Amino acid sequence: MNKKIRKFMLKLPVVGNWMKKKRLVSVVRMNGVIAPNADSMFSRGSLDIETLDPILQNAYSVPDIKAVAVIINSPGGTPVQAALIAERIQELSKENKVKTYTFIEDVAASGGYWLACAADEIYAHKASIVGSIGVISSGFGFDKFIKEHKIERRVYTAGNHKSMLDPFQPEDPEDIKRLTQIQKELHGQFIDWVKTRRGKKLKGSDKKLFNGDIWSGENAEELGLIDGCQEMQQFMKKKFGKDVRFLEFEESKGFLASIFTSTKAFNQLNYFDFIASMDRFFIWNKFLNK
């Protein structure tokens, strides 16, 4: 519900009195791969701070709100976008003095679990996939392909490492070493974040918790990665009463805007978009086909 519309409705005698009497919980759904809002057909449905910020602001600004429930279904994505979204959730929760609860549906892995840790408490289904606290970098190597087809690769750079990990060149051990170092740094940041948010709730060793493994919701509870296995509406009704009401907040897009966005994305479709879409497919697929 739009913030201005809600304020207007609160001023109406009958409607306003009804809304004030109800226990209200804002619900924000986060479904998709975490990635910057690139203008591409295959980036639609991704999670990024640019899209989510106004939605989160509206969710937390509801007068007399009891809590904010963030429902997560994400296999992960870029660490920067995950961190930015999580930090914004924390900031708004503190500003508005409203507790945040995250509820994991199918998957909250890697960056998806990073998002979940922004909440005061984390819940999941027993069959949910939780964890993957690690860092991964993937790509393709085309150097043998272009050699076989007698294609000449021409690259001119200023800077010794500007063409690092070029997929059309054989792998360079020095490039791999540098990439591995960056991954270790990012992994360390991820571990620090989880330890800061979960603290003494964690019940496993670092070697077990932070090796990139995944667990069911039931096992994640035993390890302290989540606080329990609960469905969102049932949990909120137990906590705030059976008369609790849910206000869902999501990105709105008009009919014409949807047409123009889709048309523009289709016109920009290219080889790299196709590769990106396949990459997203495999990110989801490795968790959902267990």
Token pair, residue 252, equals: 């709105």
Q: HEC profile for the chain?
A: CCHHHHHHHHHCHHHHHHHHHCCEEEEEEEECCECCCCCCHHHCCCECHHHHHHHHHHHHCCCCEEEEEEEEEECCECHHHHHHHHHHHHHHHHHHCCEEEEEEEEEEECHHHHHHCCCCEEEECCCCEEECCCCCCCCCCCHHHHHHCCCCCCCCCCCCCCCCCCCCCCCCHHHHHHHHHHHHHHHHHHHHHHHHHHHHHCCCCHHHHCCCCEEEHHHHHHHCCCCEECCHHHHHHHHHCCCCEEEEECCCCCHHHHHHHHHHHHHCCCHHHHHHHHHHHHHHHHHHCC
Q: HEC profile for 165-188?
A: CCCCCCCCHHHHHHHHHHHHHHHH
- pTM of structure: 0.76
The pLDDT assigned to 152 comes to 83
User: Pick from 232, 290, 277: which is nearest to 109 by CA?
Assistant: 290
The pLDDT assigned to 262 comes to 42
The pLDDT assigned to 285 comes to 58
Structural domain contains residue 173: no
pLDDT mean across residues, the chain:
81
Structural domain contains residue 14: yes
The pLDDT assigned to 66 comes to 95
Structural domain contains residue 249: yes
pLDDT 10s digits, 206-218: 999 999 999 999 9
Domain that holds residue 89: 3-132+213-288
Structural domain contains residue 50: yes
pLDDT 10s digits, 218-258: 999 999 999 999 999 999 999 999 999 999 997 654 444 44
Structural domain contains residue 177: no
Token pair, residue 115, equals: 């998002």
The pLDDT assigned to 150 comes to 82
Structural domain contains residue 182: no
The pLDDT assigned to 283 comes to 58
Distance of CA 221 to the CA centre of its chain: 20
Q: Which residues on neighbouring strands pair with residue 24, listed in sequence order?
A: 65, 245
pLDDT 10s digits, 79-135: 999 999 999 999 999 999 999 999 999 999 999 999 999 999 999 999 999 999 988
Structural domain contains residue 158: no
Of residues 7 and 192, the one with the higher pLDDT is: 192
Least confident of 70-79, 174-183, 188-197: 174-183
The pLDDT assigned to 10 comes to 57
Task: Give me the CATH number covering residue 259.
Answer: 3.90.226.10
CA dihedral 252→69→78→92, nearest 10 degrees, is 90
Token pair, residue 88, equals: 């914004």
CB atoms within 10 A of CB 121: 17
Q: How far is CA 90 from CA 35, 49, 93, 113, 118, in A?
A: 20, 13, 5, 15, 6
What is the number of domains present in the chain? 1
Structural domain contains residue 58: yes
The pLDDT assigned to 269 comes to 45
User: Pick from 236, 190, 235: which is nearest to 86 by CA?
Assistant: 190
Of residues 277 and 57, the one with the higher pLDDT is: 57
The pLDDT assigned to 280 comes to 55
Q: How far is CA 255 from CA 258, 262, 265, 284, in A?
A: 5, 11, 16, 28
